[in-house]
Amino acid sequence: MLPRTASDGAASYDDLVRRFEWRIPPRFNIGVDVCDRHAAATPNAPALIFEDEIGAVETLDFATLRAASNRLANALAALGIGRGDRVGILMAQSPETAVAHIACYKAGFIAVPLFSLFGEDALAYRLGDCGAACVIADANQVGKLLAIRDRLPALRHIVAAGEAPAGTHAYASLVARASDEFAPVDTASDDPAVIIYTSGTTGSPKGALHAHRVLLGHLPGVEMPQDMFPQAGDLFWTPADWAWIGGLFDVLLPSLHHGIPVLAHRMRKFEPEKALDLMARHKVRNVFFPPTALKLMRQSGIKRHDAVALRSIGSGGESLGDELLAWGRDVFGVTINEFYGQTECNLVVSNCATLFAPKPGTMGRAVPGHRVAVIDDAGNELPPGAVGEIAVARPDPVMFLGYWNNPAATAEKFVGDWLKTGDRGTKDADGALRYVGRGDDVITSAGYRIGPVGIEECLLRHPAVAMAAAIGVPDPIRTESIKAFVVLKQGHTGDAALAKALQNHVRDRLAAHEYPRAIAFVAELPLTATGKIMRRELRQREIEKREIEKQQEPKHRETPP
């Protein structure tokens, strides 16, 4: 793994690459590593700092995390949950969320993080696909689970963190009567630990199954964009939900691995001023900001806050651009380090201002330990400057084991020993990678990668819809927003009221970030000879439409003196 601090680390990126070697033990357990190891060595060291919605603050040390996760592991085992069983975790940032993950890993369960804004259909698909035996959920999420329980034959238990309605277990009472002593399961580094669902352009969302070693695989990719994390006095926070790989494996678990405390706070809606105040109050030193959060902060007009003293900022998910990077230096006094990865193989490219000056427009160089290249369709590496598909060589400890119960999709993800990202880019002679565009139809909106198929299928379930297609269109804040093209059934009129009803239909059933912000009613959709929607043609039409609108805008004329 990388040197622990810049001072005892490398003088340059090249030096770091030369010295790097993976240290992946044959036996490894995420829960033991991020919790029990520290509880034995530094039991009173702070692990989590939680500020609730009314401002009350609670600090949990590693000894407390160990006892709480032991109790939950024992309680779930008493319910009949066994090694290899899938356990959904449907909770926002909180101590209970961290405890649930640690308990699952120590007990040999497979954690399935779930986004709290998912609607019933989105939850039903993911829980049904992985065959979850149990879900631990915030009280305000339980109603959605009860509504779909009949569709989930494998789901035996719902544990509610808060008020527990009939047919569910109360989290507090379960753990209160459980022992705080638990012998963690002896897991191999390659044993499955977590399923994180990701969307593509064809078919339903796929569950990326990761092994316990994935945490170790993430560490270099966390340490680089956070300017040689950790250092004395560091404290990590992100507004990103821990249900996503960015919140869970870019912040929470790597920080706990290093014994660095993490700030947890449920932010219902990202508000720039409140984010500044939060970081100032808790003396946050390191942060992962999704690009959308940075854009919202810039748009809000916030100024440098004297009490905010960040040492490092990492951001990934989409290109930031020179203007936003310059704004970040002005407001925070540090260079925002961009990084790149995806759910199946995360944090493999990064900038690091401590080691080298980022090249404008590039997302960084290969993180030490990862071999990243630009390849052609046959899997051949392309020369510097050539446009091709960004790919990562296997074996690699951060790479997924495969898609859950989907060997065909797993095989399609590779060409030879290269994992194909689906993104196109270039690589210069110095190894700096530049993102060019997507090779598929994934929509990048507000830091989320969203597959259009789920949106289209949801729209098709509305009684007025005959056909639907979803694409991403340029958005100054979200990078892209979702636009849906809808062919109506006979007898229905495409008006503003129906457009609003369709938006609500998707928002309520999938997630708030997946609903189409614009809906166009059309007579037909462009289709291939085999009946597949040609989304690329829809995108091209949007480009042409915007060009025409731009040309038709009135020109500014100076008034003659």
By the 8 A CB rule, do 442 and 199 touch? yes
- Compute the radius of gyration of the chain from its Cα atoms: 24
Contact indicator for 245, 114 with CB cutoff of 8 Å: no
Residues comprising the chain, all counted: 561
For residue range 100-115, what is the model confidence (pLDDT) as tens digits? 999 999 999 999 999 9
Q: Which residues pair with 425 in a beta bridge?
A: 388, 435
Q: Which of 173-187, 193-207, 312-326, 469-483 has the lowest mean pLDDT?
A: 193-207
Q: Tell whether the model's pLDDT for residue 256 goes beyond 90.
A: yes
**What are the distances in angstroms from CA 479 to CA 32, 296, 315?**
39, 12, 14
203 band by pLDDT with thresholds 50, 70 and 90: low
pLDDT band per the 50, 70, 90 thresholds, residue 448: confident
191 band by pLDDT with thresholds 50, 70 and 90: very high
Look over the chain and give the mean of its residue pLDDT values, rounded to a whole number: 92
Give the Å distances, CA to CA, from 402 to 4, 406, 412, 419: 31, 8, 11, 11
Tokens, residue 421: 């990202």
Distances from the Cα of 193 to the Cα of 100, 101, 351, 372, 520, angstroms: 13, 10, 29, 25, 42
> Per-residue pLDDT averaged across 149-166, rounded?
96
pLDDT of residue 560: 43
The structure tokens 């009350």 sit at 56
Domains 213-440 and 444-552 share a fold: no
Do residues 88 and 152 touch, judged by C-beta distance below 8 A?
no
Of the two residues 410 and 204, the one the predictor is more confident about is 410
Closest CA to 339 of 348, 331, 330: 348
pLDDT of residue 2: 41
Dihedral sign for Cα atoms in the order 221, 258, 315, 404: positive
The CA-CA-CA angle for residues 62, 76, 82, to 5°, reads 110
Note the helical H segments in 301-426.
322-332, 407-412
| Interior/surface letters 89-102, b for 16+ CB within 10 angstroms, e for the rest | bbbbbbbbbbbbbb
Percent of the chain with pLDDT over 70: 95
> Do 328 and 351 form a contact (C-beta atoms < 8 A)?
no
Average pLDDT score over residue span 18-45: 97
- For the 444-552 domain, the top CATH level (class) is alpha beta
**From the candidate CATH numbers 3.90.1720.10, 3.40.50.12780, 3.60.40.10, 3.40.920.10, the one assigned to the domain spanning 26-43+56-211:** 3.40.50.12780
Peptide bond into 395 cis (omega under 30): yes
Q: Which DSSP helix (H) or strand (E) runs through 68?
A: helix 62-78
Q: How confident is the model at residue 5 (pLDDT cuts 50, 70, 90)?
A: very low
The label of the residue with tokens 């939680």 reads 50
Q: Is 208 a residue whose pLDDT tops 90? A: yes
Eight-state DSSP code of residue 316: E
Question: Locate tokens 């960084």: which residue?
Answer: 364
Return phi, psi of residue 94, to 5°.
-170, 165
The predicted model scores a pTM of: 0.86
Task: Write the pLDDT tens digit of every residue in 497-531.
Answer: 999 999 999 999 988 889 999 999 999 998 765 56
Q: Are strands 388-393 and 57-61 parallel, antiparallel or unpaired?
A: unpaired
CA atoms of 448 and 220, how far apart (whole Å): 23
At residue 9, the pLDDT reads: 60
pLDDT of residue 204: 74
User: Could you tell me how far CA 536 lies from the centroid of its own chain?
Assistant: 26
Q: Tokens in use for 275? A: 């984010």
For residue 216, what is the DSSP state? H
Instruction: Please say if the pLDDT value at position 311 is more than 80.
Output: yes
Overall fold of domain 213-440: Rossmann fold (3.40.50)
* 203 phi-psi bin (left φ>0, alpha ψ -120 to 50, beta other): left
Residue 372 near residue 350 (C-beta atoms within 8 A) = no
Coil, helix or strand at residue 206: strand
Domain ranges of the chain: 26-43+56-211, 213-440, 444-552
Q: Which amino acid is at 225?
A: P
Tokens representing 108?
């040999």
Q: Are 300 and 273 in contact (CB under 8 A)?
A: yes
Phi, psi for residue 214 in degrees, rounded to 5: -60, -30
pLDDT at 300 over 90: no
pLDDT band at 31 (very low <50, low <70, confident <90, very high): very high
